[in-house]
């Protein structure tokens, strides 16, 4: 799913234009080249640039570029940091964000009557946005078909995470007291709190995760993470397992510490098969395998765990930061071996990006 489609068309076009300018190596950029690369009219590009410049000044207090009759020159504040600010700003203005918040608060999709009273949306606008929301959600949920509740949580998580938006702080959450979360970075803390915020909203709306969404063993449940949730012990265990397996998948907890026993019985055989496939693939790279046995085991555990978790967890990679081709260009020999191993694994399992 392309998460920029969450935005209004005009804001999405501005983000695409911003990245096109940002990736251009020239100090002066020909407007005609922009028109051709964006497949847009001169009038539309000029309109986008004017609005874009206004938004940059609104967010940074300075214009982002000097626009002449035929060229433009980006200023110093025309940066990836400004791009992140703009993505968040446009998302906060998006009707999709409103609908996601309402779904979290109410448990189900809001009625037109509620949105009309609360936000003064016209009827035709509401149904346009509802159709857009349904299409976006369908496109996302088709990627991972686990269960509806898990799909919905990851759909909303990915939307907020992609745009770097977080509307609330969990005041009752003290993650630093958990021994597994004492040294997490600010980015990891953002991810952890964002998912906890979504879980809390859904549970308070009486929406509980199903067993189908869980692959890790019940022994890993740590109820102290979610003591603030007013639910029964059995439901609390399920929700805790959902959060913990997300923590491992997102790198908040060290996934390399997981072994086959950390997963449910039906997943342990998959874990062992994935691990063996990987071991066979790297054997030819290491003549003295015994010297690296601990590192190999940890790496095998991490890859095997990620492959299993990827069936029920899904985080959209930001298209602006992903550069797999760089690895292929710099390490062609290793890339060839990695590709072979991945191809073999993909015959049986879905592989994380």
Question: What whole-number distance in Å separates Cα of residue 343 and Cα of residue 320?
Answer: 25
Q: Is 22 exposed, middle or buried (0-12, 13-18, 19+ CB in 10 A)?
A: middle
Residue 75: CB atoms within 10 Å: 16
pTM score of the predicted model: 0.85
The predicted structure's pLDDT at residue 320: 47
pLDDT tens digits in sequence order for the chain, 353 residues long: 688 999 999 999 999 999 999 988 888 899 998 899 889 999 999 999 999 999 999 999 999 999 988 899 999 999 999 999 999 999 999 999 999 999 998 889 999 999 999 999 999 999 999 999 999 999 888 766 678 899 999 999 999 999 988 766 665 555 545 555 667 888 888 888 899 999 999 999 999 999 988 999 998 888 778 888 888 889 999 999 999 999 999 888 888 888 899 999 889 988 988 888 887 777 766 655 566 677 777 888 888 888 889 888 888 755 545 455 667 777 776 777 778 777 877 777 777 66
The predicted structure's pLDDT at residue 342: 79
Q: Is 51 exposed, middle or buried (0-12, 13-18, 19+ CB in 10 A)?
A: middle
The predicted structure's pLDDT at residue 60: 94
The string of pLDDT tens digits covering residues 40-49 is: 999 999 999 9
Is residue 277 within 8 Å of residue 220, measured between CB atoms? no
Is residue 242 within 8 Å of residue 152, measured between CB atoms? no
Question: What whole-number distance in Å separates Cα of residue 92 and Cα of residue 97?
Answer: 7
348: its two tokens: 């049986």
């Amino acid at each position: 799913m392309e998460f920029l489609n969450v935005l209004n068309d005009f804001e999405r076009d501005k983000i695409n234009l911003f990245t096109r300018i940002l990736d251009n190596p020239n100090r002066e950029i020909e407007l005609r080249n922009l028109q051709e690369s964006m497949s847009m009219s001169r009038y539309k590009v000029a309109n986008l640039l004017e609005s874009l410049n206004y938004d940059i000044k609104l967010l940074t207090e300075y214009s982002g570029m000097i626009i002449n009759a035929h060229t433009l020159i980006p200023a110093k504040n025309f940066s990836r940091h400004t791009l992140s600010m703009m993505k968040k700003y446009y998302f906060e203005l998006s009707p999709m964000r409103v609908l996601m918040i309402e779904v979290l608060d109410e448990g189900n999709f809001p009625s037109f009557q509620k949105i009309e009273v609360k936000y003064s949306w016209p009827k035709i606008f509401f149904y346009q946005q509802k159709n857009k929301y349904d299409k976006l959600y369908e496109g996302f949920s088709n990627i991972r078909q686990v269960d509806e509740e898990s799909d919905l949580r990851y759909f909303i998580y990915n939307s907020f995470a992609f745009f770097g938006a977080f509307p609330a702080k969990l005041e009752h959450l003290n993650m630093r007291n958990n021994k597994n979360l004492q040294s997490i970075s600010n980015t990891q803390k953002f991810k952890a709190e964002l998912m906890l915020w979504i879980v809390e909203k859904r549970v308070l709306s009486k929406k509980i995760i199903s067993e189908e969404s869980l692959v890790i063993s019940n022994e890993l449940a740590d109820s102290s993470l979610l003591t603030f949730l007013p639910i029964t012990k059995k439901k609390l265990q399920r929700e805790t397992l959902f959060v913990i397996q997300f923590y491992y998948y997102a790198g908040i907890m060290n996934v390399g510490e997981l072994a086959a026993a950390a997963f449910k019985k039906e997943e342990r055989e998959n874990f062992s098969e994935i691990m063996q496939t990987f071991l066979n693939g790297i054997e030819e790279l290491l003549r003295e395998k015994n010297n690296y046995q601990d590192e190999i085991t940890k790496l095998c555990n991490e890859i095997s765990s990620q492959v299993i978790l990827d069936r029920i967890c899904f985080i959209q990679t930001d298209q602006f930061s992903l550069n797999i081709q760089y690895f292929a260009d710099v390490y062609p020999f290793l890339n060839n071996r990695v590709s072979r191993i991945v191809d073999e694994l993909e015959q049986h399992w879905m592989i994380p990006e």
